[in-house]
A and B are shown apart, each in its own frame.
Chain A
């Protein structure tokens, strides 16, 4: 069973309500419909309900698959606003919130914050920047997390790691040049992401060009500092480093290079890059030379799941990302 099959099976066991603020978009509506029809999610479409119903009909979709939320339904909007402003960790007050909620992306995220839906799925009409900013304002970052970041999940043919052919890597997409605190937070978030999505017990390695002091320099200092911060913040997690990449994932190399006990060395299932230059090049190498499938980027660091899909993505990829998001959201509720 492939990793996607496993995730799909998990989604079916516990389908989540997913809000679609760009529901009129043809590809988005099709992906939402297929994911709903196949039993992975309960799709909630936001917009002009009459218009959306008509569009769904024209496109041949059974309307009962969807729940429609009309942005002009003042009674429901006021209910969401009242619940939102009553929460302790929200920033916007009623008037400012009502104004922001004229934008369906903010409306959907307000619904998510108050638990009306588990996750908001957007990014086909809105830019990544729009989604990240709305997420920070409406959902907020986790209390001890200082940055938004992302991980990718790589399925690498021929790789025999501690999770078979799978390896989670981050950040290859969002946080460009993290300081030690931010790098520590990327690692902590990555552990939580793989736990919620895959049920793994995370073993997280911070990598660079040195293994436990074999090299020196400021590029390494940042990583060792990040490891220290992450270990202090989350002693419950298996986080270790600094390691070279091979010492992180290969038991044979770890046996030679890591001369102390480590739960992570040689068997890491989560690898944290020192910056986005490394992360982006690394994921391309894994794809090009390793012929790997890379799923993601999955955004992390938020209080609940925020997702962004590529604007050029085909329906099949959007559907896959919707389902991954729903499983993460279900995992975070535990």
Chain B
């Protein structure tokens, strides 16, 4: 999976986990300011990432990501 594909995949998984329309999301979307999700949604997102990619990211690391781009970086490092 190249970077572009990974970005698309993560955007799709964020949309599923946070119950958003994928069109509303971009790499700059902030988890805290824009999505205002509870930890439950982050747990769902990490589970989706583990299911759909071979990355094993910790919840602590994922929760520390400010934007979706940060999360893509994190997952890329784990692949």
Measured CB to CB, the residues of A under 8 A from B are 91-93, 95-96, 99-100, 129, 133, 136-137, 141, 146-148, 182
Question: Is the beta-carbon distance between A137 and B46 smaller than 8 angstroms?
Answer: yes
Instruction: Note all chain B residues with C-beta closer than 8 A to A92.
Output: 47, 50-51
Question: Is the beta-carbon distance between B38 and A96 smaller than 8 angstroms?
Answer: no
Interface membership of B6, Cβ < 8 A = no
Question: Is the beta-carbon distance between A129 and B60 smaller than 8 angstroms?
Answer: yes
Q: Which of B9-57 contact A (CB under 8 A)?
A: 38-40, 43-44, 46-48, 50-51, 56
Question: Is the beta-carbon distance between B59 and A137 smaller than 8 angstroms?
Answer: yes
Instruction: Note all chain B residues with C-beta closer than 8 A to A141.
Output: 40
Question: Is the beta-carbon distance between B59 and A133 smaller than 8 angstroms?
Answer: yes
For B50, give its contact among A99, A133, A148 (CB under 8 Å).
Answer: A99
> Shortest beta-carbon distance, B46 to chain A, in Å?
7
* Assembly CA distance A272 to B70 (angstroms): 37
* Assembly CA distance A331 to B47 (angstroms): 29
Q: List 11 A-B contacts (CB under 8 A).
A: A91-B43, A91-B47, A92-B50, A95-B51, A96-B51, A129-B60, A133-B59, A137-B46, A141-B40, A146-B40, A148-B39
Query: Which residue of chain A lies nearest to B48 when distances are taken between CB atoms in the complex?
Result: A91
> Shortest beta-carbon distance, A276 to chain B, in Å?
15
* Assembly CA distance A60 to B14 (angstroms): 52
For A91, give its contact among B44, B56, B60 (CB under 8 Å).
Answer: B44
Query: Which residue of chain B lies nearest to A90 when distances are taken between CB atoms in the complex?
Result: B47
Q: How large is the interface on B (under 10, 10 to 19, 20 to 34, 35 or more residues)?
A: 10 to 19
Instruction: Note all chain B residues with C-beta closer than 8 A to A137.
Output: 43, 46-47, 59
Dominant secondary structure of chain A at its interface with chain B:
helix
Instruction: Note all chain A residues with C-beta closer than 8 A to B59.
Output: 133, 136-137
Query: Which residue of chain A lies nearest to B47 when distances are taken between CB atoms in the complex?
Result: A91
Instruction: Note all chain B residues with C-beta closer than 8 A to A136.
Output: 39-40, 43, 59
* Assembly CA distance A308 to B48 (angstroms): 26
Minimum-distance CB pairs A-B, first 7: A91-B47, A96-B50, A93-B51, A136-B43, A133-B59, A96-B51, A137-B43
Query: Which residue of chain A lies nearest to B63 when distances are taken between CB atoms in the complex?
Result: A133
Query: Which residue of chain A lies nearest to B36 when distances are taken between CB atoms in the complex?
Result: A179
> Shortest beta-carbon distance, A142 to chain B, in Å?
11
Query: Which residue of chain B lies nearest to A146 when distances are taken between CB atoms in the complex?
Result: B38
Given contacts A133-B59, A137-B43, contact A147 B50 (CB under 8 A): no
List 10 additional A-B contacts (Cβ < 8 Å) besides A91-B48, A95-B51. A91-B47, A92-B50, A99-B56, A136-B39, A136-B40, A137-B47, A141-B40, A146-B40, A147-B40, A182-B38
> Shortest beta-carbon distance, B73 to chain A, in Å?
20
Query: Which residue of chain A lies nearest to B54 when distances are taken between CB atoms in the complex?
Result: A95
> Shortest beta-carbon distance, B14 to chain A, in Å?
15
> Shortest beta-carbon distance, A299 to chain B, in Å?
14
Instruction: Note all chain B residues with C-beta closer than 8 A to A182.
Output: 38
Instruction: Note all chain B residues with C-beta closer than 8 A to A91.
Output: 43-44, 47-48, 51
Question: Is the beta-carbon distance between B38 and A147 smaller than 8 angstroms?
Answer: yes
* Assembly CA distance A147 to B40 (angstroms): 8
Most chain B CB neighbours (cut-off 10 Å) among A96, A137, A182 = A96
Instruction: Note all chain B residues with C-beta closer than 8 A to A95.
Output: 51
Most chain B CB neighbours (cut-off 10 Å) among A92, A133, A146 = A133
* Assembly CA distance A92 to B39 (angstroms): 17
* Assembly CA distance A96 to B50 (angstroms): 6
* Assembly CA distance A331 to B9 (angstroms): 42
> Shortest beta-carbon distance, A130 to chain B, in Å?
9
Instruction: Note all chain A residues with C-beta closer than 8 A to B50.
Output: 92, 96, 99-100
* Assembly CA distance A96 to B46 (angstroms): 10
Instruction: Note all chain A residues with C-beta closer than 8 A to B40.
Output: 136, 141, 146-147
* Assembly CA distance A147 to B41 (angstroms): 11
Instruction: Note all chain B residues with C-beta closer than 8 A to A100.
Output: 50, 56
For B43, give its contact among A99, A133, A147 (CB under 8 Å).
Answer: A133
